[in-house]
Structure 1
Amino acid sequence: MTDKGFFLFDGQSLPYTTGQTIIQAATAAGHYIPHLCYRPEFPPHGSCKLCSVKANGKFTSACFEPVTDGMKVESETEEIRAYRKRVVQMLFAEGNHYCPFCQQSGNCKLQAVAYHLGMEDTHYAHQYPRRELDASHPDVMIDHDRCILCELCVRASRDVDHKEVFGVSGRGIHARLVVNSPTGLLGDSRFSASDVAAHVCPVGAIVPKRAAFATPIGQRRYDVHDIGELKDPPPEREPPA
Protein backbone atom coordinates (compact mmCIF):
# COMPACT_ATOMS: atom_id res chain seq x y z
CA MET A 1 0.00 0.00 0.00
CA THR A 2 1.36 3.40 -1.01
CA ASP A 3 1.97 6.01 1.67
CA LYS A 4 0.73 8.80 -0.62
CA GLY A 5 -2.36 9.43 -2.65
CA PHE A 6 -4.90 11.98 -3.79
CA PHE A 7 -8.33 13.06 -2.66
CA LEU A 8 -10.87 15.59 -3.87
CA PHE A 9 -11.25 18.77 -1.86
CA ASP A 10 -14.08 20.96 -3.13
CA GLY A 11 -13.56 19.40 -6.53
CA GLN A 12 -9.80 19.93 -6.57
CA SER A 13 -7.39 17.02 -6.49
CA LEU A 14 -5.02 17.33 -3.52
CA PRO A 15 -2.17 15.09 -2.37
CA TYR A 16 -2.08 13.49 1.05
CA THR A 17 0.16 11.19 3.07
CA THR A 18 -1.22 8.14 4.80
CA GLY A 19 -2.17 9.02 8.37
CA GLN A 20 -2.96 12.66 7.65
CA THR A 21 -6.34 13.99 8.70
CA ILE A 22 -8.43 16.09 6.35
CA ILE A 23 -7.42 19.34 8.04
CA GLN A 24 -3.72 18.41 7.95
CA ALA A 25 -3.79 17.52 4.25
CA ALA A 26 -5.90 20.55 3.33
CA THR A 27 -3.67 22.93 5.32
CA ALA A 28 -0.53 21.44 3.76
CA ALA A 29 -2.03 22.17 0.34
CA GLY A 30 -2.83 25.77 1.29
CA HIS A 31 -6.56 25.43 2.01
CA TYR A 32 -8.11 26.89 5.14
CA ILE A 33 -10.74 25.00 7.15
CA PRO A 34 -12.17 27.12 9.99
CA HIS A 35 -11.34 25.77 13.44
CA LEU A 36 -10.86 26.89 17.05
CA CYS A 37 -9.96 23.92 19.26
CA TYR A 38 -7.43 22.43 16.81
CA ARG A 39 -3.71 23.09 16.85
CA PRO A 40 -1.33 20.86 14.88
CA GLU A 41 1.02 20.28 17.83
CA PHE A 42 -1.73 18.69 19.95
CA PRO A 43 -3.87 15.59 19.38
CA PRO A 44 -7.29 16.55 17.98
CA HIS A 45 -10.03 17.33 20.46
CA GLY A 46 -13.10 17.83 18.30
CA SER A 47 -15.00 20.00 20.77
CA CYS A 48 -15.87 23.05 18.67
CA LYS A 49 -17.14 21.21 15.55
CA LEU A 50 -16.22 24.26 13.50
CA CYS A 51 -14.00 22.19 11.18
CA SER A 52 -16.94 19.99 10.14
CA VAL A 53 -16.88 18.96 6.49
CA LYS A 54 -18.63 16.37 4.38
CA ALA A 55 -16.48 13.35 3.53
CA ASN A 56 -18.04 11.05 0.97
CA GLY A 57 -21.40 12.64 1.75
CA LYS A 58 -21.28 12.37 5.56
CA PHE A 59 -20.60 15.12 8.10
CA THR A 60 -17.38 14.62 10.04
CA SER A 61 -14.73 16.63 11.90
CA ALA A 62 -11.80 17.44 9.64
CA CYS A 63 -9.40 17.40 12.61
CA PHE A 64 -10.24 13.75 13.35
CA GLU A 65 -11.11 12.16 10.01
CA PRO A 66 -8.18 10.47 8.21
CA VAL A 67 -7.93 10.96 4.47
CA THR A 68 -8.42 7.94 2.24
CA ASP A 69 -7.57 7.58 -1.42
CA GLY A 70 -10.20 9.13 -3.65
CA MET A 71 -12.16 10.58 -0.74
CA LYS A 72 -14.50 13.38 -1.77
CA VAL A 73 -14.43 16.23 0.74
CA GLU A 74 -16.78 19.20 0.65
CA SER A 75 -15.81 22.20 2.76
CA GLU A 76 -16.90 25.49 1.20
CA THR A 77 -20.49 24.69 0.28
CA GLU A 78 -23.38 26.95 1.24
CA GLU A 79 -24.70 24.25 3.58
CA ILE A 80 -21.43 23.84 5.48
CA ARG A 81 -20.72 27.56 5.70
CA ALA A 82 -24.22 28.07 7.15
CA TYR A 83 -23.60 25.29 9.67
CA ARG A 84 -20.29 26.83 10.74
CA LYS A 85 -21.90 30.24 11.11
CA ARG A 86 -24.49 28.75 13.46
CA VAL A 87 -21.71 27.15 15.55
CA VAL A 88 -19.97 30.51 15.90
CA GLN A 89 -23.25 32.26 16.69
CA MET A 90 -23.90 29.77 19.48
CA LEU A 91 -20.44 30.39 20.94
CA PHE A 92 -21.14 34.12 21.02
CA ALA A 93 -24.59 33.61 22.55
CA GLU A 94 -23.35 31.18 25.21
CA GLY A 95 -20.54 33.45 26.44
CA ASN A 96 -20.07 37.16 27.08
CA HIS A 97 -18.12 38.30 24.03
CA TYR A 98 -18.11 42.07 23.73
CA CYS A 99 -15.54 42.48 20.97
CA PRO A 100 -15.25 46.30 20.98
CA PHE A 101 -14.24 46.19 24.66
CA CYS A 102 -12.04 43.06 24.61
CA GLN A 103 -8.29 43.57 24.73
CA GLN A 104 -7.82 40.70 22.26
CA SER A 105 -9.93 42.34 19.55
CA GLY A 106 -8.02 41.89 16.30
CA ASN A 107 -6.04 38.94 17.68
CA CYS A 108 -9.05 36.75 18.54
CA LYS A 109 -9.71 33.70 16.37
CA LEU A 110 -13.39 33.54 17.32
CA GLN A 111 -13.88 37.12 16.16
CA ALA A 112 -11.81 36.48 13.03
CA VAL A 113 -13.78 33.36 12.09
CA ALA A 114 -17.04 35.27 12.59
CA TYR A 115 -15.85 37.90 10.12
CA HIS A 116 -14.61 35.21 7.72
CA LEU A 117 -18.03 33.52 7.74
CA GLY A 118 -19.89 36.80 7.28
CA MET A 119 -21.63 36.66 10.65
CA GLU A 120 -23.67 39.83 11.20
CA ASP A 121 -25.70 38.86 14.28
CA THR A 122 -25.76 36.15 16.93
CA HIS A 123 -29.18 34.75 15.86
CA TYR A 124 -29.69 33.04 19.21
CA ALA A 125 -30.83 34.67 22.46
CA HIS A 126 -27.84 35.54 24.65
CA GLN A 127 -27.47 33.48 27.81
CA TYR A 128 -25.44 36.09 29.75
CA PRO A 129 -23.81 33.56 32.12
CA ARG A 130 -22.37 34.97 35.33
CA ARG A 131 -18.62 34.48 35.19
CA GLU A 132 -15.78 35.98 37.17
CA LEU A 133 -12.43 37.52 36.32
CA ASP A 134 -9.38 35.92 37.95
CA ALA A 135 -6.64 38.55 38.23
CA SER A 136 -4.85 36.86 41.13
CA HIS A 137 -1.72 35.98 39.13
CA PRO A 138 0.95 38.71 38.88
CA ASP A 139 1.48 38.30 35.13
CA VAL A 140 -1.61 36.68 33.59
CA MET A 141 -5.35 36.92 34.10
CA ILE A 142 -8.29 34.70 33.19
CA ASP A 143 -11.41 36.35 31.79
CA HIS A 144 -13.96 33.55 32.05
CA ASP A 145 -16.44 35.61 30.02
CA ARG A 146 -14.38 34.90 26.90
CA CYS A 147 -13.63 31.21 27.43
CA ILE A 148 -15.02 28.90 24.72
CA LEU A 149 -13.89 25.66 26.44
CA CYS A 150 -11.60 24.64 23.59
CA GLU A 151 -9.34 23.02 26.23
CA LEU A 152 -6.16 24.08 24.46
CA CYS A 153 -4.81 25.42 27.75
CA VAL A 154 -5.83 22.17 29.46
CA ARG A 155 -3.92 20.08 26.94
CA ALA A 156 -0.90 22.40 26.90
CA SER A 157 -0.59 22.45 30.69
CA ARG A 158 -1.03 18.69 30.95
CA ASP A 159 0.92 17.44 27.94
CA VAL A 160 3.62 20.08 27.44
CA ASP A 161 4.08 21.98 30.71
CA HIS A 162 3.35 18.82 32.79
CA LYS A 163 1.62 20.88 35.46
CA GLU A 164 -2.09 20.10 34.94
CA VAL A 165 -3.06 23.59 36.03
CA PHE A 166 -6.35 23.67 34.10
CA GLY A 167 -9.43 21.50 33.80
CA VAL A 168 -13.09 21.80 32.85
CA SER A 169 -15.91 21.28 35.34
CA GLY A 170 -19.69 21.11 34.81
CA ARG A 171 -21.83 20.48 31.76
CA GLY A 172 -23.63 22.61 29.19
CA ILE A 173 -24.11 26.26 30.11
CA HIS A 174 -22.63 25.50 33.54
CA ALA A 175 -19.33 24.17 32.18
CA ARG A 176 -16.35 26.34 33.05
CA LEU A 177 -12.58 26.39 33.11
CA VAL A 178 -11.21 25.56 36.57
CA VAL A 179 -7.75 25.98 38.09
CA ASN A 180 -5.95 23.28 40.06
CA SER A 181 -4.95 25.18 43.19
CA PRO A 182 -6.03 25.15 46.87
CA THR A 183 -8.18 28.26 46.35
CA GLY A 184 -9.13 27.71 42.72
CA LEU A 185 -7.26 30.90 41.82
CA LEU A 186 -4.55 31.09 39.17
CA GLY A 187 -2.24 33.03 41.50
CA ASP A 188 -2.14 30.08 43.90
CA SER A 189 -1.29 27.52 41.21
CA ARG A 190 1.98 26.41 39.61
CA PHE A 191 1.17 28.44 36.51
CA SER A 192 3.84 30.66 34.97
CA ALA A 193 3.67 33.27 32.20
CA SER A 194 6.37 31.27 30.41
CA ASP A 195 4.17 28.16 30.24
CA VAL A 196 2.97 27.04 26.82
CA ALA A 197 -0.53 27.10 28.30
CA ALA A 198 -0.21 30.87 28.65
CA HIS A 199 0.10 31.31 24.88
CA VAL A 200 -2.39 28.99 23.20
CA CYS A 201 -5.75 30.60 24.00
CA PRO A 202 -7.48 31.45 20.68
CA VAL A 203 -9.67 34.11 22.30
CA GLY A 204 -9.28 36.62 25.14
CA ALA A 205 -9.69 34.23 28.07
CA ILE A 206 -6.04 33.83 29.14
CA VAL A 207 -4.20 37.08 28.55
CA PRO A 208 -1.01 38.73 29.82
CA LYS A 209 -1.22 41.75 32.05
CA ARG A 210 0.30 45.10 31.08
CA ALA A 211 0.34 44.25 27.36
CA ALA A 212 -3.20 44.96 26.17
CA PHE A 213 -2.36 47.69 23.66
CA ALA A 214 1.27 46.99 22.81
CA THR A 215 -0.06 46.62 19.24
CA PRO A 216 -2.72 49.27 18.52
CA ILE A 217 -6.21 48.18 17.48
CA GLY A 218 -6.40 48.41 13.70
CA GLN A 219 -2.89 47.01 13.25
CA ARG A 220 -3.42 43.57 14.77
CA ARG A 221 -3.21 40.24 12.99
CA TYR A 222 -6.85 39.85 11.98
CA ASP A 223 -7.44 43.57 11.56
CA VAL A 224 -5.30 43.48 8.45
CA HIS A 225 -5.72 39.87 7.24
CA ASP A 226 -8.70 37.58 6.84
CA ILE A 227 -8.01 34.48 8.92
CA GLY A 228 -8.42 32.33 5.81
CA GLU A 229 -5.43 34.05 4.20
CA LEU A 230 -3.01 33.05 6.95
CA LYS A 231 -1.20 29.75 7.43
CA ASP A 232 -2.59 29.32 10.93
CA PRO A 233 0.13 31.16 12.87
CA PRO A 234 0.04 30.91 16.65
CA PRO A 235 -2.07 33.61 18.31
CA GLU A 236 -0.12 36.75 19.11
CA ARG A 237 0.75 37.17 22.74
CA GLU A 238 2.77 40.11 23.95
CA PRO A 239 5.24 39.21 26.74
CA PRO A 240 4.49 40.66 30.16
CA ALA A 241 6.23 43.97 30.83
Structure 2
Amino acid sequence: MNKYTACRHPHSNCSNRLTRLSRLGATKSSFLYTSSSSSRHVSAIEVDAVPLNTIYEPLLASYLVAHDLFSARSLVHRIPRELKAQSVQLSTLIQVMELMQQWERQNGNLKDTYALLHKSRWNSSLAPLIALLQDSIQNRELDLLAKAYTSLPVQLAASRIWLEEDTAAEQLVATRGWRYDASTGLLYPKAPEVSYNRTIGLQEFGQLADVVAHLEVRQESS
Protein backbone atom coordinates (compact mmCIF):
# COMPACT_ATOMS: atom_id res chain seq x y z
CA MET A 1 0.00 0.00 0.00
CA ASN A 2 1.48 3.35 -0.97
CA LYS A 3 1.34 6.46 1.17
CA TYR A 4 -1.62 7.88 -0.71
CA THR A 5 -3.98 4.95 -0.39
CA ALA A 6 -6.53 4.25 2.26
CA CYS A 7 -7.33 0.64 3.08
CA ARG A 8 -9.51 -0.45 0.17
CA HIS A 9 -8.90 -1.45 -3.42
CA PRO A 10 -10.68 0.80 -5.96
CA HIS A 11 -12.84 -2.10 -7.17
CA SER A 12 -13.89 -3.60 -3.83
CA ASN A 13 -17.66 -3.55 -3.28
CA CYS A 14 -18.17 -0.11 -4.74
CA SER A 15 -21.86 0.66 -5.27
CA ASN A 16 -21.48 3.57 -7.66
CA ARG A 17 -24.50 5.24 -9.15
CA LEU A 18 -25.15 7.48 -12.11
CA THR A 19 -25.84 11.16 -11.62
CA ARG A 20 -27.93 12.25 -14.57
CA LEU A 21 -30.07 9.32 -15.72
CA SER A 22 -33.09 11.57 -16.04
CA ARG A 23 -31.61 12.83 -19.32
CA LEU A 24 -32.26 9.48 -20.96
CA GLY A 25 -35.38 10.95 -22.52
CA ALA A 26 -33.09 12.11 -25.34
CA THR A 27 -33.23 8.64 -26.91
CA LYS A 28 -35.26 7.77 -29.96
CA SER A 29 -37.98 6.10 -27.89
CA SER A 30 -39.91 9.37 -27.57
CA PHE A 31 -41.37 9.18 -31.07
CA LEU A 32 -41.98 5.44 -31.12
CA TYR A 33 -44.69 5.24 -28.46
CA THR A 34 -48.25 6.35 -27.84
CA SER A 35 -49.62 6.63 -24.31
CA SER A 36 -52.88 5.74 -22.61
CA SER A 37 -53.99 6.11 -19.00
CA SER A 38 -53.43 2.42 -18.31
CA SER A 39 -50.49 1.38 -20.48
CA ARG A 40 -47.87 2.17 -23.11
CA HIS A 41 -47.92 0.30 -26.37
CA VAL A 42 -45.81 0.17 -29.47
CA SER A 43 -47.19 1.81 -32.55
CA ALA A 44 -46.47 -0.94 -35.07
CA ILE A 45 -46.81 1.33 -38.09
CA GLU A 46 -44.17 3.70 -36.78
CA VAL A 47 -41.88 1.00 -35.43
CA ASP A 48 -41.88 -1.09 -38.60
CA ALA A 49 -40.50 1.88 -40.51
CA VAL A 50 -37.49 2.20 -38.20
CA PRO A 51 -34.24 0.45 -39.26
CA LEU A 52 -32.99 -1.90 -36.55
CA ASN A 53 -29.54 -0.33 -36.46
CA THR A 54 -31.03 3.02 -35.40
CA ILE A 55 -32.54 1.30 -32.36
CA TYR A 56 -29.64 -0.99 -31.48
CA GLU A 57 -27.27 1.95 -31.05
CA PRO A 58 -29.25 3.99 -28.46
CA LEU A 59 -30.33 0.84 -26.63
CA LEU A 60 -26.75 -0.41 -26.31
CA ALA A 61 -25.57 3.04 -25.23
CA SER A 62 -28.35 3.16 -22.63
CA TYR A 63 -27.33 -0.19 -21.18
CA LEU A 64 -23.77 1.09 -20.90
CA VAL A 65 -24.93 4.26 -19.15
CA ALA A 66 -26.66 2.07 -16.57
CA HIS A 67 -23.58 -0.16 -16.41
CA ASP A 68 -25.85 -3.10 -17.26
CA LEU A 69 -23.18 -5.13 -19.02
CA PHE A 70 -25.19 -8.35 -18.94
CA SER A 71 -28.00 -6.82 -21.01
CA ALA A 72 -25.45 -5.12 -23.24
CA ARG A 73 -23.72 -8.44 -23.98
CA SER A 74 -27.05 -10.13 -24.67
CA LEU A 75 -28.02 -7.39 -27.09
CA VAL A 76 -24.68 -7.49 -28.93
CA HIS A 77 -25.01 -11.27 -29.29
CA ARG A 78 -28.32 -10.79 -31.12
CA ILE A 79 -27.19 -8.04 -33.48
CA PRO A 80 -26.66 -9.37 -37.02
CA ARG A 81 -23.03 -9.47 -38.10
CA GLU A 82 -23.69 -7.35 -41.17
CA LEU A 83 -25.12 -4.53 -39.03
CA LYS A 84 -22.05 -4.57 -36.80
CA ALA A 85 -19.85 -4.26 -39.89
CA GLN A 86 -21.93 -1.48 -41.48
CA SER A 87 -22.22 0.87 -38.50
CA VAL A 88 -19.08 2.58 -37.24
CA GLN A 89 -20.98 3.92 -34.21
CA LEU A 90 -22.27 0.47 -33.31
CA SER A 91 -18.79 -1.04 -33.65
CA THR A 92 -17.38 1.67 -31.40
CA LEU A 93 -20.05 1.08 -28.75
CA ILE A 94 -19.19 -2.62 -28.79
CA GLN A 95 -15.54 -1.70 -28.21
CA VAL A 96 -16.63 0.50 -25.31
CA MET A 97 -18.60 -2.41 -23.85
CA GLU A 98 -15.55 -4.67 -24.13
CA LEU A 99 -13.37 -2.10 -22.36
CA MET A 100 -15.93 -1.80 -19.58
CA GLN A 101 -15.93 -5.59 -19.25
CA GLN A 102 -12.15 -5.53 -18.89
CA TRP A 103 -12.51 -2.93 -16.17
CA GLU A 104 -15.08 -5.13 -14.40
CA ARG A 105 -12.54 -7.97 -14.42
CA GLN A 106 -9.94 -5.51 -13.05
CA ASN A 107 -7.83 -5.94 -16.17
CA GLY A 108 -8.43 -2.44 -17.49
CA ASN A 109 -9.40 1.06 -16.45
CA LEU A 110 -12.17 3.47 -17.27
CA LYS A 111 -9.71 5.99 -18.66
CA ASP A 112 -9.37 3.91 -21.84
CA THR A 113 -13.15 3.76 -22.20
CA TYR A 114 -13.52 7.50 -21.73
CA ALA A 115 -10.73 8.20 -24.21
CA LEU A 116 -12.42 6.07 -26.89
CA LEU A 117 -15.74 7.85 -26.40
CA HIS A 118 -14.02 11.23 -26.48
CA LYS A 119 -12.12 10.72 -29.73
CA SER A 120 -14.95 9.02 -31.66
CA ARG A 121 -17.48 10.84 -33.82
CA TRP A 122 -21.20 10.54 -33.00
CA ASN A 123 -24.24 11.70 -34.92
CA SER A 124 -26.60 14.27 -33.42
CA SER A 125 -29.21 11.72 -32.35
CA LEU A 126 -26.75 9.61 -30.36
CA ALA A 127 -24.52 12.41 -29.03
CA PRO A 128 -26.70 13.22 -25.95
CA LEU A 129 -26.50 9.60 -24.77
CA ILE A 130 -22.76 9.52 -25.36
CA ALA A 131 -22.34 12.68 -23.29
CA LEU A 132 -24.35 11.02 -20.53
CA LEU A 133 -22.20 7.89 -20.80
CA GLN A 134 -19.03 9.98 -20.52
CA ASP A 135 -20.42 11.68 -17.43
CA SER A 136 -21.40 8.37 -15.83
CA ILE A 137 -17.95 6.87 -16.47
CA GLN A 138 -16.24 9.95 -15.05
CA ASN A 139 -18.47 9.98 -11.98
CA ARG A 140 -17.96 6.26 -11.43
CA GLU A 141 -14.19 6.65 -11.56
CA LEU A 142 -14.26 9.67 -9.24
CA ASP A 143 -16.35 7.74 -6.73
CA LEU A 144 -13.82 4.90 -6.86
CA LEU A 145 -10.95 7.31 -6.30
CA ALA A 146 -12.76 8.89 -3.36
CA LYS A 147 -13.34 5.46 -1.80
CA ALA A 148 -9.78 4.25 -2.40
CA TYR A 149 -7.64 7.31 -1.55
CA THR A 150 -7.42 9.63 1.40
CA SER A 151 -5.14 11.82 -0.72
CA LEU A 152 -3.72 11.55 -4.22
CA PRO A 153 -1.58 13.56 -6.64
CA VAL A 154 -3.50 15.82 -8.96
CA GLN A 155 -1.69 14.18 -11.88
CA LEU A 156 -3.20 10.81 -11.00
CA ALA A 157 -6.74 12.16 -10.71
CA ALA A 158 -6.43 14.04 -14.00
CA SER A 159 -5.14 11.01 -15.87
CA ARG A 160 -7.91 8.77 -14.59
CA ILE A 161 -10.77 10.99 -15.70
CA TRP A 162 -9.38 12.57 -18.87
CA LEU A 163 -8.91 16.11 -17.53
CA GLU A 164 -6.13 18.58 -18.21
CA GLU A 165 -3.72 18.51 -15.30
CA ASP A 166 -3.59 22.31 -14.93
CA THR A 167 -7.37 22.58 -14.52
CA ALA A 168 -8.19 19.26 -12.81
CA ALA A 169 -7.75 20.50 -9.24
CA GLU A 170 -9.94 23.56 -9.78
CA GLN A 171 -12.70 21.49 -11.40
CA LEU A 172 -12.68 18.80 -8.73
CA VAL A 173 -12.77 21.36 -5.93
CA ALA A 174 -15.69 23.16 -7.60
CA THR A 175 -17.75 20.17 -8.73
CA ARG A 176 -16.95 17.47 -6.18
CA GLY A 177 -16.05 19.40 -3.06
CA TRP A 178 -12.54 17.97 -2.92
CA ARG A 179 -9.76 19.86 -1.13
CA TYR A 180 -6.51 20.78 -2.86
CA ASP A 181 -3.18 21.60 -1.23
CA ALA A 182 -1.15 23.57 -3.77
CA SER A 183 2.02 23.30 -1.68
CA THR A 184 2.07 19.50 -1.95
CA GLY A 185 0.10 19.05 -5.16
CA LEU A 186 -2.25 16.65 -3.38
CA LEU A 187 -6.01 16.35 -3.68
CA TYR A 188 -8.10 15.24 -0.72
CA PRO A 189 -11.28 13.54 -1.98
CA LYS A 190 -14.62 14.04 -0.35
CA ALA A 191 -16.41 10.74 0.21
CA PRO A 192 -19.53 10.24 -1.96
CA GLU A 193 -22.60 11.14 0.07
CA VAL A 194 -25.43 10.07 -2.22
CA SER A 195 -26.32 6.54 -3.26
CA TYR A 196 -27.88 7.07 -6.66
CA ASN A 197 -30.82 4.91 -7.67
CA ARG A 198 -29.93 3.21 -10.94
CA THR A 199 -33.59 2.56 -11.74
CA ILE A 200 -34.47 6.25 -11.95
CA GLY A 201 -35.14 7.32 -15.53
CA LEU A 202 -34.81 3.81 -16.98
CA GLN A 203 -38.35 3.48 -18.33
CA GLU A 204 -37.00 4.28 -21.79
CA PHE A 205 -34.86 1.11 -21.63
CA GLY A 206 -37.97 -1.03 -21.57
CA GLN A 207 -39.49 0.92 -24.43
CA LEU A 208 -36.42 0.56 -26.63
CA ALA A 209 -36.13 -3.13 -25.75
CA ASP A 210 -39.76 -3.65 -26.80
CA VAL A 211 -39.07 -1.95 -30.12
CA VAL A 212 -36.06 -4.18 -30.77
CA ALA A 213 -38.00 -7.32 -29.88
CA HIS A 214 -40.85 -6.29 -32.20
CA LEU A 215 -38.52 -5.65 -35.11
CA GLU A 216 -36.51 -8.83 -34.53
CA VAL A 217 -39.68 -10.94 -34.56
CA ARG A 218 -40.81 -9.35 -37.81
CA GLN A 219 -37.37 -9.89 -39.32
CA GLU A 220 -37.39 -13.59 -38.40
CA SER A 221 -40.89 -14.12 -39.78
CA SER A 222 -40.28 -12.31 -43.07
Give yes or no for TM over 0.5: no
Q: TM-score range by the shorter chain?
A: under 0.3
Higher relative contact order, structure no. (Cα contacts within 8 Å, ≥ 6 residues apart): 2
Question: TM-score w.r.t. structure 1 length?
Answer: 0.25
| Structure ID, larger Rg | 2
The structure that is helix-richer by fraction is: 2
The structure that is strand-richer by fraction is: 1
Question: TM-score w.r.t. structure 2 length?
Answer: 0.26
